[in-house]
Every structure is written in structure tokens, then in C-alpha cells.
Structure 1
Amino acid sequence: MTKLGVSIYPQKSNLEDNKNYLKSASEYGFSRVFLNFLTVENKEDLDNFKAIVSYANKLNMEVIADVAPVVFKDLGINYNDLKVFSHMGLAGIRLDMGFSGNEESIMSFNPYGLKIELNISSGTKYLDNIMSYLPNKDNIIGCHNFYPHRYTGISRKHFIKTTEEFKKHGLRTAAFVSSNNASFGPWNVNEGLPTLEEHRELPMEVQAKDLLNTGLIDDIIISNCFPSEEELRALGGVNRDILELNIEIEKNIPKVEKDILLNELHFNRGDVSEYMIRSTQSRVKYRGYEFNLINPKDMVKGDIIIESSLYAHYAGEMHLVLKNMKNSGKSSVIGKIVDEEIFLLDYIKQWQKFKLKLR
């Protein structure tokens, strides 16, 4: 099952604010915490870190700390013995920068069940190298980076390529979404903090829908602090099992047409068209019903069509428009996908199931 997570930066915010954030996130169904451990410099930092982990654990949230080889050195930790991380209450450690391969493999056999999280975004043969040392795959997971500087986020092409490398080994994966309300992350630059550059200014729940719709990402983590309660609620309410598109509809459309949109499970036919996504079961279910013509305007990408009875046996078929088209005068344009989600239509696959939801 998909897990939702948040990020905490102990040196950028006080303990009370972090606790309040974790409590709110937990109430909206979040169960993961990404904790920046790269900047721990003294005992006070370490005590604050431990307090956050302890509080998150009380909320049944698993905490994975971002570490690097230098952290091992500074704290006198050997990769053969990870008990200090276990005693802190961590569920795992994320290696922002890794070792040589065999060390990661050895760490994966730790007796505490700690997860060893690897950086997916780097695009090197790092994972293949680790796999050549035969790690305990049950304890190896992956997570992408985030990018605070505008235009430095990774491309969709690179995202797909690097994540597929992890999924071919059956590894759990995660990626970051960026709050549009947050004011800080790990660095002083604050231009959003997404994994994919194209997500930078999208609503957080739309970023998550896109990531989940790739079929390559298991967990979604908010990267920056602090999102609004509205954002937490929206992301917590995302359907994690199926793509659910938000729509707007014409006023006073008949009940049957409204039921087709909102109460049916849709799927894109296998014989795909470049002009539309065709959901055809409604024409079978409502055969014989008189679909009156409504709003027969020319169609633009994102429009929602239900064919009128003027189209004979196509009557009742629902279309999502992919390309602008002339209306023959027989097609009812009864709604549209909300603007910020129209791009998701490009990634609906043949036979993919989806739902529509009134915003």
C-alpha cells in the first residue's frame, strides 16, 4: 500500500512546531518521516533529533534518516554495526552519498531490520554494483532526490529510466512532492522542492497523482515545511489505488449523464485513439435511454463528452478529449477536466481504469 510522508529539518524549526506538524500529518494518514541527519553537529542537535524520532514513533510513523559516510565517521559508527540507529528508533537510513557497494550489501543484513534507502536519482550503476554483492533485498529501498533550485529538478525521461532500474529488482520506491505553502527546506534556496521539475508549481495532490500514475512509485513524501492543513487534507485524500481526475460539469445536466461521469468505473479502450479516451461501457448499460443533445460546441483538450442519441449505437459513450476537434453537432460537451490535471490525460494507458470526481 502507498505510504504518505513528511520531511523534518531539526535545525530549521523548533521541536514544538515539528511535533505539531507530525501530529497533523498523522491525523491525515501520513506514516513516513524523512529526517535530515546530515547537519547534526553536537549533542544538542542529537537530543533534538532523538526527541523527534521518539514522538513520531508514538504516532506509529516510521522515520528514515538522511545520512552520508561522513556522518558515520563523525559519530564513530561502523557500517558493520548499525545498532546506534536502531536505538534511536529509526526504521532506516537513507544514504545520500553511498559507499562502494559491498558496505551497503553488508548493512542490508543488519539484525535490526533497518531499511537501507538508496538514491534513485543519480542515474549511475550504483544499484547494479550493490546488487552484484547480493544484498538482502527485503531491506533495500529507493528514494529520489528533491531540488530547491528552479529548473534543476529531473526530467520525466530520467525519472522513468532511473526508477525502472529499481523496480526491475522489485524494490520499494519513493519520490518527493513540493508544498506551495512551505517556506523552507534543507537549504537557503526556496523555489519549491519537487523531484520532477515539471511538478514545481502544481498543487501537491496533482503531483502525487502523477507520480502514482506512473506505476513506479510506492511512497509519496512532502519535501518542504510547512504545508497548509488544506494541502495535507488534499494529499491525504488522494485515491492511492486508482487515478481519480477532478472535473467540472455543466449546470443542470440530467441524472443519468451525471451518474455516468461520477458513479461508473471507467477504462480506456485497448484500441486507443489519439483524439480521445473512450469509456464505452455506459453505452451498453444505458442502451435505449434517450441522450438529449447538450452544449454541442467544438471540443478542446480536456473536455468531457457524452454522445447523444443522434449518434445511434454510440449514444451514452463517454469521451475525454485529447485533441481539439470540430463538433459534428451530435456530441454533448458536458464538462471538463480541471486545468491543472489535463496533462494527466497524456499518461492514461490502454485498458487503464480511472474515475472522475466533482471538484
Structure 2
Amino acid sequence: MHKLGISVYPDKSPKEEVFSYLEKAAKLGYSRIFTCFLSVPEEKRESYMVEFKEFINKAHELGFEVAADTNPEVFKLLGATPDDIKPFADLGLDIIRLDGNFGTTGDIKITRNPYNIKVEFNASFDMGTKLLIESGGNKDQIIMCHNFYPERYTGLDFDLFRKYNRYWKELNLRTAAFVSSNNENTIGPWKVFCGLPTVEIMRNMPIDLQARYMLAAGDIDDIIIGNYPASDEELESLANIDLQSIEIKIDEVCGISENEKEIMYNFAPHWDRYDHSSFMLRSSMPRLWFKENKSPQESSIPYRKPEKNVFTRGDVLIVNDNLEHYRGELEIVLTEIPDDGERNLVAKVKPEELMLLDFIKPGHQFKLIK
């Protein structure tokens, strides 16, 4: 089951503002929080931990689990060791994210803590997690979370992101990654101006599109907004995405019929046939339903001449009356095909959404969003 999360940096914002943000996110179904102990100045860390206890109590009251970025210096400050992480348990922390490590033996000890605190390792490169497990690490308390990247052009390559996620899934480990708010004047652990995404090509994309790319690519479990605060609109758009189907935004063409609208939107989710064609995605269920439940007159889809002679990648087509046996089938063009009079152009996939088509494999579900 996927989870959505937010990042909060309580040492940098008024308490009332932070608590209001938590309440908004909780109402929308967010259930994870990421925060960072590393960015708190050393001279303030001791007093901050007292204030943090109030923050974490509020988060738990709202149903969140809380992860904090730590390192050996934070352990030392709190009086924790790999053998004894009770100071973190006393804070109420649910997840310790290790930025830096204690060697294989020390990390194994942390994963075998008696407080059921999960230990989160960096998913953006392999620091020997498989070896850690094979050497006695407690797999039940190990999870993975990618880095985020404040500096433009330094975020993770998308193909490498997918490669690592496949690897962590082969080890049956839960994964998480960061998307970035495009809200103005957001903050992170440090001064940031260009967002906090995991994957570089997603920087500046609409936040829901970032998440839909991650979900379409597969093998990612939890999606966390890296910077604070996301706008209300962004929180809502991310909360409203379908976490189980690939959603694709389209622009309708003018003059489409009610039957064509019904096919596009009322038969969701569509799914590409298992006997996949390299020329198009094919959703055949609408034509079967029309044939069984409507008379030929009710199911009629007259031919409507498009403004072009060749259909191109991302064109959404519906088979018309000129090919009656297949009438009502929805198709999305992958490779150019000529207009032969048997299909109506009903919509076009938005340009920034086209890459999503690459992830729809035979049998995969997808939805069209106006």
C-alpha cells in the first residue's frame, strides 16, 4: 500500500503554522513525515529535542509516522549508541534515517533495536544493504529512502532511480522518494531555492505529474514532498491521484459526442490488451459493452474528419461506424498511422505527459483525465 508524506522542519517555522500544515495534510490522507536533525545548529539541538517531543506528539495524534535524518554526531548529542537507541524511543521517533553509518556491526545492532524503530538507509546508492542483511541485519526493520537534491542539475538520473528501485524490491524492502513543491519561498534543512526532488528531470514539474511518473515507473512505495510548505492546491492534487492506475491528462478536441466522452471517462480504468501492438494502446472493453448494452442506433459513432491526415503519438482515437465490429474501442497512438476513416480523433495527450505512455505495458491499467 502506497503512502504519501510531507517534510516539516519545526526548528525553522512557527509552531502554529507547522501544526496547521500537519492538520491539513492529515485530512487529505498523508501519513508520513520527514524531518531533519542534521540542520539544527549544534548549540540548539538539546533544547530543540524538548520542543520536538511536542511536535511528534501532535504528529502521532494525527496519525503520522515520523522519520528524522540523523548521523553519528546526532547519536552522540542525544546519548544514543548503536547498542542503545532509547533516546530516540523516548522522543517517540518511528524511523531513524541514517545519513552516515556505524559500520556493518553497528548498523546491524541498530536494526535489531527492541523499540520497533525502523532504520532507513539511503536508496540513491548502494552502501552494502544486501551484505548488511546477509550478515544479520533485521530485514523487518530496514526500509529505504532516496536522497533529495537542492542543487539544480544534481538530482538522480531517472534510469538509475528505476534501477535502484528494482534492486531494493528484489530484496523485498520498502522504498520512498521525494517530489518537490513548486510553491514560492519553500524551505528545507538548509536554504534552498530550486526545490527538493529526488529525480532531476522532475524538478519544476507539477507535483502530481512527478508522483505519477514515479508510480508509473514502478517499485516505489511512498512519495514524500521534500520541501516545506507545499501549497494547498499541491497537497490536494497529490492526494487526489490514483495510486493504483497510470493517470494521463488529455486535451479534448472540439465536437466530440456524448458516446465518445462516455468511452473516455466512464470505462476507467482502461487497460491495454495483452496482445499488445507497437502502433497503439488498445482498450477493447468499451466496444464490447456498447455491443451488448446498446442498440446500433444508440451506439452510433459517426465518422468525423480530423484536421490532419496522419495521427501521431499521443492522439486518442475511438473506432467509428466505418469499422462497425470494433466500434467504441479506445486507442492511443504510439507510432504514426494514417487516417483511414475508421477512427475519430477525440483528444490529445498533453506533451509533458507523453512519457507516461512508455510505462503502459500489456495488461496495465490507465485512466484519462480531462
Give the TM-score, by structure 1 length.
0.94
* Aligned residue type for 2:140: D
Aligned counterpart, 2:311: 299
Aligned counterpart, 2:11: 11
Moved more, 299-308 or 37-46: 37-46
Aligned counterpart, 2:196: 193
Length, aligned pairs only: 357
Equivalent-residue separation in structure 1 for 2:29 and 2:142 (angstroms): 24
Shift of 1:165: 1.8
User: Given that residues 7 and 228 in structure 2 are in contact (C-alpha distance below 8 angstroms), is that contact kept between their aligned partners in structure 1?
Assistant: yes
Structure 1: tracts of 5 or more residues without a match: none
SS of equivalent residue, structure 2 residue 337: coil
Aligned counterpart, 2:144: 142
Shift of 1:251: 4.3
Aligned counterpart, 2:218: 215
* Aligned residue type for 2:171: H
SS of equivalent residue, structure 1 residue 286: helix
Shift of 1:329: 3.0
User: Given that residues 78 and 87 in structure 2 are in contact (C-alpha distance below 8 angstroms), is that contact kept between their aligned partners in structure 1?
Assistant: no
Equivalent-residue separation in structure 2 for 1:136 and 1:318 (angstroms): 48
Moved more, 85-94 or 5-14: 5-14
* Aligned residue type for 1:137: K
Shift of 1:84: 1.1
Q: Hey, which bits of structure 1, 4+ residues long, moved more than 3 A?
A: none
2:81 matches 1:71: no
Q: Which of 119, 130, 136 does residue 128 from structure 1 map onto?
A: 130
Judged with a 3 Å threshold, the aligned counterparts in structure 2 of structure 1 residues 294 and 97 are, in CA distance, closer, same or farther, namely: farther
SS of equivalent residue, structure 2 residue 178: strand
Equivalent-residue separation in structure 1 for 2:301 and 2:141 (angstroms): 56
Shift of 1:273: 2.5
Shift of 1:146: 0.6
Q: Which of 121, 124, 141 does residue 118 from structure 1 map onto?
A: 121
Equivalent-residue separation in structure 2 for 1:129 and 1:253 (angstroms): 58
Aligned counterpart, 2:27: 27
Structure 2: tracts of 5 or more residues without a match: none
2:322 matches 1:320: no
Aligned counterpart, 2:366: 354
Q: Which of 206, 231, 236 does residue 234 from structure 2 map onto?
A: 231
Shift of 1:15: 2.0
SS of equivalent residue, structure 1 residue 5: strand
Per-residue CA distance 1:147-168 (angstroms, 9 max, x = gap): 1111111111111111122111
Equivalent-residue separation in structure 2 for 1:48 and 1:25 (angstroms): 21
* Aligned residue type for 2:333: V
SS of equivalent residue, structure 1 residue 93: strand
SS of equivalent residue, structure 1 residue 284: helix
Per-residue CA distance 1:117-170 (angstroms, 9 max, x = gap): 111002x34212211222221111110011111111111111111112211111
